[in-house]
Amino acid sequence: MKAVVYEKYGPPEVLQLKELPKPSPKESEILIKVYATTVHIGDVRMRKPDPALVRLINGLTRPRKVTVLGMELAGVIEASGRNVKRFKEGDPVFAFTGFGFGAYAEYKCLPEGGHPKNGLAAIKPANMSFDEAAAVPGGGLTALHTLRKANIQGGQKVLVYGASGSVGTYTVQLAKSFGAEVTAVCSTINLELMKSLGADKVIDYTREDFTDSAETYDVIVDILGKGSFSRVKRALKPNGRWLLVSFKMKKIWQMLWTSVAGGKRVICALSSEKAEDLVFIKELIEAGKIRTVVDKCFPLAQAAEAHRYVAQGHKKGSVVITVGNSGAANANQY
């Protein structure tokens, strides 16, 4: 099978298209013929590597454990192990591959039951193409888990900082589906996109700093984790929560301190993916409450170009990598 392999750390150019043996499913695994995957932030960090801790996990001098990237996918089950009960051959699925990665390939095996470390899968939303569905698992699951940390209630005011990326676009839509009043913070070029996703208010961060306003929020979701609590807390209500999707050790110490001090709190939202959460998101998609934002699509052979585009830092939603005859597969879904 064709797969994009990286045998050394570095820039996008380390990604190379090669031939690898086609995997065979174990007794409790499904074999997925991959039609689409994405450039996930986890893929970028493994490739660079960033943080340096990646080297301890995947090899000090070069990648050893993971050599095929790809954390999200959509495709069709081609075969299954004899103990598999939930899926059958021909089922269209979307999946999160977890720390096993491996979606930058024509085939990927995943466990039927699902586990965040080894991957999890669910039947693909009927109203999405494979390209669209591939962009859901990583960002959608992270957004869902983050918002659940704050126990969002109807009528609460939620601000999403960094709203135009994959996690941000799902956070805006999920918060709306939970009944919150949502303010999205993004750049000028993405203002209309945020409105189309249901944001009640939109702030252009190039022209306005939301922490300077008198407006306060029950929850502030910081996708990039670049904010300062000393400033952000001014925009929080007395018992408000600052949810961090990306964070460093300093923020963890702040989380521990504010959990003891009470009042306004810092919460570092470590993600914990579950198969039932993927099904929950699928149902919201089919109900018309969530959609995918796909910025660009690149063929598998141009995975390096896809990573290079993401590195520019201006993508909207997700960047998809199509695998095999993805176009024909997508056409057959409608």
- Range among 131-135, 232-236, 273-277 rated most confident: 131-135
Do 89 and 9 reside in the same domain of the chain? yes
Residues in a beta bridge with 111: 29
Do 168 and 215 reside in the same domain of the chain? yes
Confidence of residue 132 (pLDDT cuts 50, 70, 90): very high
Do 130 and 6 reside in the same domain of the chain? yes
- What is the 3-state secondary structure of 230-246? HHHHHHEEEEEEEEECC
Confidence of residue 259 (pLDDT cuts 50, 70, 90): low
Residue-wise pLDDT for 312-330, tens only, equals 988 999 999 999 765 555 5
Do 195 and 107 reside in the same domain of the chain? no
Confidence of residue 334 (pLDDT cuts 50, 70, 90): very low
Residue-wise pLDDT for 182-207, tens only, equals 999 999 999 999 999 999 999 999 99
CATH number at residue 35: 3.90.180.10
Range of the domain at 170: 139-268
For residue 185, tell me if it sits in a domain. Answer: yes
Residue-wise pLDDT for 8-25, tens only, equals 999 999 999 999 999 999
For residue 227, tell me if it sits in a domain. Answer: yes
Do 122 and 221 reside in the same domain of the chain? no
For residue 296, tell me if it sits in a domain. Answer: yes
CATH number at residue 153: 3.40.50.720
Structure tokens at 61: 């001098």
Do 74 and 117 reside in the same domain of the chain? yes
* Tally of domains within the chain: 2
CA 334 – CA 255 distance, rounded (Å): 47
CA 192 – CA 200 distance, rounded (Å): 12
Last residue of a domain, one of 268, 300, 315: 268
Do 66 and 153 reside in the same domain of the chain? no
Q: Which residues are CB-contacts of 241 (< 8 A; sequence separation ≥ 6)?
A: 149, 150, 218, 219, 220, 264, 265, 267
End-to-end CA distance of the chain: 28
